Structure 1
Amino acid sequence: MRKFIFILLFIIASLSYLFEVDELLIKKFSFFNDLKVSYINKVISISSNIEKHFDQAKKIEALSIENNELKEYKILYNGAQKQLNAVKEFLVNVDLNQSKPKIELVKVLSYVNFNDFTKVWLDKVPEDENILGLITENYAAGILVNKDGRSVGLLNGNKDCSYATFIGEEKAPGIITASKDQDELLIKYIPIWADIKKGDEVITSGMDNIFFEGLKVGRIIEVIDLPDMKMATVKPYVNVLKKKYFYAYKNISQEIKPVEKAETVEKKDIKDKTK
């Protein structure tokens, strides 16, 4: 029993001594306490920084995924917006008069040949062999033709692109085609008696059943007199080579049916007479 009490008192005395020494060290040597506090703060700071680093890495990864998704949505949005703007421009600017057209928005896919920017593939599936007009805003842009079941756009300036036009207030007729200068067009077969001059406006006539009358093309910048006809150089209003969308125009009400062969007509007459 005495030994137990002695040991207990010894432990108590030792602990008291130790605490007093610790207090003495703190009082006499305060830098130990500062060092201890600094160490603890440093450990806490490092732990916080490590935690922040991993949190930031997760946030950066999440934001990167979200940013890529937003980029994809932006591309889709821009494409849809361009088509919508094209529709708005067409509805606001184009006057279809009293014709009954079939109009379809078509997109330029690529050049047919890389050395010819006036000939492009379009995303329309042709229904027949009819030549359609290509329109941008309120301007004639070229023609659409069927080539082996695919739609080809022959834009203004292409050597194979031609359509009927009227010139000036008197509506002198002519056929527009390509010019040697890529920035200009040429009108041929203008009657020698036609009174045309520099500055006259050129519009589509609709006489070729490709366009309706009134689509703007450009203005005359030069008149050339020949012995049997006149020709005129035209500065077009719009650069169609920069366009990505067009409207394919087809006048259904004025479709021209193919002329029947003489033999077929003769057989029909014989059948009618024998009835």
Structure 2
Amino acid sequence: MNKLIFFILFLAISLGYLFEVDEMIARNFNPFESIKRSYINTVVSIQETTEKYFKQVSTIEELQKENKELRPYKVLYESAHNELDSVLKTINNPKGTTDQIKFVNVLSYIDFDNFTKVWLDMEKKDNSILGLISDGYAAGIVVNLQGRAKALLNGNEKCNYAIFIGENKAPGIIHGSQNKHELIAKFVPIWFDIKEGDEVITSGMDNIFFEGLKVGRVVSIKKMQDIQEATIVPYANVLKQKSFLVYKKEKIKENEPTK
């Protein structure tokens, strides 16, 4: 009888021990637990990567929007900075001049069959001719048409202003070309040595622009008996511009001598 009781107790203790060991093994060596952990880690990683991607996309879109809004101000700053150096030199000349630079927007085409004539959002009452600037380059002229500002862009046959060509500063007058992507410098004296690749700048001799504003580069030259013409590829892409700078040179009234 005692042996039977001892055997039952031994069996119970052994089974309890085995079940405890089994539970421990199940807790620590369950293959599904590692799979579950790997799945959770993968899901969390994908979620973090996705959130990071969409955050980057949102940030890029915001920066692109800000860049688009700030671009006109950047153009205005760079253009004004390039031009004001020459403006300051002009102000200090003996005859005395003062200059104004104004930011303007394009309203619309004047004629739908001619993209080189546009209305600007400014009034113009006098008959003076103003210079038009785009991205720091000469872009055309502004004239008065019934009290409104009419812009004649580079490439228009009536868009004429004085220029210098090359290091020797050969004088000429800008005209439009049959190829709307080019300009023609006419009336260049034959005795001036000009060549392909020469840079063309405004001369300021017409009081439309100041001297030194870049226009473009010479790509070909046509020599005649007493004059020559140069074909120029302009720097300014005027047909895509929605805004410009208008340059105006004004005479300072000289003080009358005291009696």
Contact 2:80 2:101 in 1 (8 A): no
Partner of residue 171 from structure 2, selected from 170, 173, 176 = 173
Residues 254, 198 of structure 1: alpha-carbon distance in 2 compared, 3 angstrom cutoff: farther
More helix by share: 1
- Quote the residue 1:108 is aligned against: 106
In 1: Cα distance, 2:67 partner to 2:252 partner: 37
Residues 127, 86 of structure 1: alpha-carbon distance in 2 compared, 3 angstrom cutoff: farther
- Quote the residue 1:189 is aligned against: 187
- Quote the residue 2:30 is aligned against: none
- Quote the residue 2:79 is aligned against: 90
- AA aligned to 1:121 is W
Give the 3-state SS of the residue equivalent to 1:189 in structure 2: strand
Contact 2:219 2:231 in 1 (8 A): yes
- Map Cα deviations across residues 188-241 of structure 1 (whole Å, 9 max, x no partner): 000011110111110000000000000000111111011121001001112111
- Quote the residue 2:139 is aligned against: 141
Give the 3-state SS of the residue equivalent to 2:132 in structure 1: strand
Contact 1:93 1:137 in 2 (8 A): no
More strand by share: 2
Q: Which runs of 5+ in 2 are unaligned?
A: 1-63, 91-97, 254-259
- AA aligned to 1:87 is L
- Aligned residues with identical type, % of pairs: 52
Contact 1:209 1:254 in 2 (8 A): no
In 2: Cα distance, 1:229 partner to 1:87 partner: 38
How high is the TM-score relative to the length of structure 2? 0.66
Give the 3-state SS of the residue equivalent to 2:164 in structure 1: strand
Residues 173, 106 of structure 1: alpha-carbon distance in 2 compared, 3 angstrom cutoff: same
In 1: Cα distance, 2:158 partner to 2:68 partner: 31
Say yes or no: does 1:220 pair with 2:210. Answer: no
Contact 2:104 2:243 in 1 (8 A): yes
- Quote the residue 1:200 is aligned against: 198
> Larger Cα Rg: Structure 1 or Structure 2?
1
Q: CA deviation at 1:82?
A: 4.2
- Map Cα deviations across residues 141-187 of structure 1 (whole Å, 9 max, x no partner): 00000001110110000011010000000000000110111110001
- Quote the residue 1:150 is aligned against: 148
Residues 254, 191 of structure 1: alpha-carbon distance in 2 compared, 3 angstrom cutoff: farther
- Quote the residue 1:21 is aligned against: none
RMSD: 2.0
- Quote the residue 1:130 is aligned against: 128
Contact 1:168 1:196 in 2 (8 A): yes
- Map Cα deviations across residues 247-273 of structure 1 (whole Å, 9 max, x no partner): 111111379xxxxxxxxxxxxxxxxxx
- Map Cα deviations across residues 92-134 of structure 1 (whole Å, 9 max, x no partner): 3333341231111110001001111110000011141100000
Q: CA deviation at 1:89?
A: 2.1
In 1: Cα distance, 2:75 partner to 2:86 partner: 16
Residues 186, 254 of structure 1: alpha-carbon distance in 2 compared, 3 angstrom cutoff: farther
In 2: Cα distance, 1:128 partner to 1:96 partner: 25
In 2: Cα distance, 1:122 partner to 1:108 partner: 5
Q: CA deviation at 1:78?
A: 8.0
Matches within 5 A, 1:7-18: none
- Quote the residue 1:121 is aligned against: 119
Give the 3-state SS of the residue equivalent to 2:123 in structure 1: coil
In 2: Cα distance, 1:125 partner to 1:181 partner: 31
- Quote the residue 1:245 is aligned against: 243
